[in-house]
Structure 1
Amino acid sequence: MAADPADRRQTTRFLLLYALAVAGGAIAYVPFLTILLPIQVTGMAGDSDVTWLAYATFAGALAASAANIFFGWLSDRSAVRRPWIIGGLLWSCVLLVGFAYITDIVWLIAWLVLWQMGLNMMLSALGAWAGDTIPDRQKGLLGGLLAFAPAAGALSASLVTLPDLADAQGRLWLVAMLVAACVLPAVLAGAPRPFPELMRDEPAPKKEPSRSPANMVVRMWLARLLIQISEAALFAFLYFWFRSVDPAMTDANVARIFSVILVASVPLALLTGHLADRYGRPFLPLTIGAAISAVGLVLMAMSNSLTSAIAGYVVFGIAASTFLSLHTGQTLRILPRAKNRARDLGIFNLTNTSPSLVMPWLAIGLVPAFGFSGLFVALAACAGLAAMLVASLSRPT
């Protein structure tokens, strides 16, 4: 007997290859933006490196935001994804290794803008490809698998910076080869099963206004933005806060804690994503994750020792990382029009880039007057609001 179409699932092989490709996308930018680019800027700008790095980061974020939407729109219009993924892969890898030949700081920023355009050509089509090929009944599992990406990015940064492994140019080549090795298997040999129902122009209308497509999109967008603001603030100021609690805390210890959180979130995201699929509760883990993130931030605000500070951050970090991974998978469920899928994902991508514009002013306004505890209370309020936004979506589907 033929399988019921409602029970058809994407192959495990494609899911794993797709997760590997998304991990390749993270490897494409995490080592470069967090380590290799700052090193190069310092070598060029000397004592002005912080200022020039800020200019470069700002220009790169603007380019990434615009390119993700633009190339997403183009891939929607063309109704194909793989050519855009391959084109963006080639573009970004060629420009990545080209950074080794840039010797002027202004040209470096211009080159960074061009690289971000190519990278986001690949990332926009890659993200939308999941919406084209993975049915809703596997969106939770997809979100769990996507938790591998940030962990892969962090681990690749540790790998390429191993002493005596490669010089500055060799590191760039190593990153480019790792990215290609991760992305190409899915694109060239993934062979996903087709799901024509995923390509319908609009979903069935919702009877409940609170769960209408437009309302769901707004709630999901705002919830992700609020959690990302909390993540961005901690990413920028975590080291300074740990040092304020215990001056003996080193940057290496902070990096190790961050890596442990990313690795620990992978099995948790896989388990919760699987359970969300099994019981038809796709948004419940998001509500719980955002709520636990708020609890972790409150614990951080109340901490008075290094042990309690680390415990609070671990609670927040694992919950927030799990939330963000599962959120990515479930976002594909609620986008209203398949023909605009990649463009709409580009708009969701603004939640990844815009927090860097909000977070500094939040910290400047709160930390001098109320200390880090005041900042964490404000961030806990953001996470709590995120939980409330997705709570009404958490009823069974």
Structure 2
Amino acid sequence: MLEATNKQILLLTNMYPTDRFPAKGSFVKRSAVQLVNAGFEVKVVTLKDIKTKMLEYALFYSRVVRKLLLQPASYVYIHFVSHTAVPVLFVIALRKLLRKSPHIIVSHVHGGDVHFQTNKNKLFFAVKRLLAKQILHRSDVIISPSHRYADIVRKLLMGKQQIGGFAPDKHSSDIRVICSAGVDLTKFGSVSFTKSGIASKNLKFVYLSRFEPLKQPLLTLNYLDELYRQKPEYFSSAKFYGYGSLTQELNSGIAESLMTSEKVKCYDAVPSDKVPSLFADNDAFILQSKEESLGLAPLEAMASGCIVFLSKIPAFEEFIEDGKNGFLISSKEEFIGKVEDFCSWPFERQQELRQAARNTVQQSYSSLIAERDLIDVFVDKSRC
């Protein structure tokens, strides 16, 4: 078998763009591209487009085991650790039994890996968190998308240790906060950011996320419908882009809403290369998630000059100063009031908010910062 070099990375993920789901895990692909551009050799193992989920994961796990045993690589880079843990833990145990040196493991945690998300099965989450904890204890570096999520990981790792034959390794993991792939400021807002010089008196809204209970697209539709009912002069249009279990219910809700079919429309998810022009064509971004580990789409919208109206949750509070670079809302009354406030501002004040939003992204969440910090993870470990 070939020997690994310190430039070889095996990327394991259940989230990666496919022909059926071009938006799925696009930030994971961008992270891989960043590493390739930095001179690393990245091999990706991910799910195939198979409609039977059990078969899809069985084939995925078998490929992971085969690659970990046969593919030369110095690093194993795991995105969504809870969904990839089973084959990785198996190979770790096998290599230990065979007295083979372990891989350097970099784990990138997200969403429901270690934090319970509402509307999810509690037993399934308990199993996921247990598996994630085992991988994280064996990771040389843990990457978290936000400081708030990093705190959740620390609390998990400080908890009571698990399990007989899978006792944690002795070393303590290095936890780093990196915005997943970051926002490419040469694509988002590079052309569209400068508005016309005329204050926005009504807004074109866009929703860009999955159609799942966690993201609350039906609540978003209710907010927009109420805005149209109470203050139609501030509403221009609304477009929903995404996919998920609530697609049919969302379309039914749109058909029953007060807004006409010309005012509100629902579309499939768009590939990542279409997102910049989508934001450029709209004025405001709205997302009322129950939970997020960070939220890349709102940051891309902020970079593009879109006004963001986000739910008042810890992840969004990490980068939004309410009324200064975006708006945090927790009720439809608050949403309507803040839309009315913004639309009453003069152009200069509206533009100050847009510029402050872009500055937030530029200072902390750009792709240049994310790429630098991600590459540092692997460069630092290659020196060890």
Q: TM-score under structure 1 normalisation?
A: 0.26
Q: TM-score under structure 2 normalisation?
A: 0.27
The higher-RCO structure (CA 8 Å, 6+ apart) is 1
Which structure would you say has the larger Rg?
2
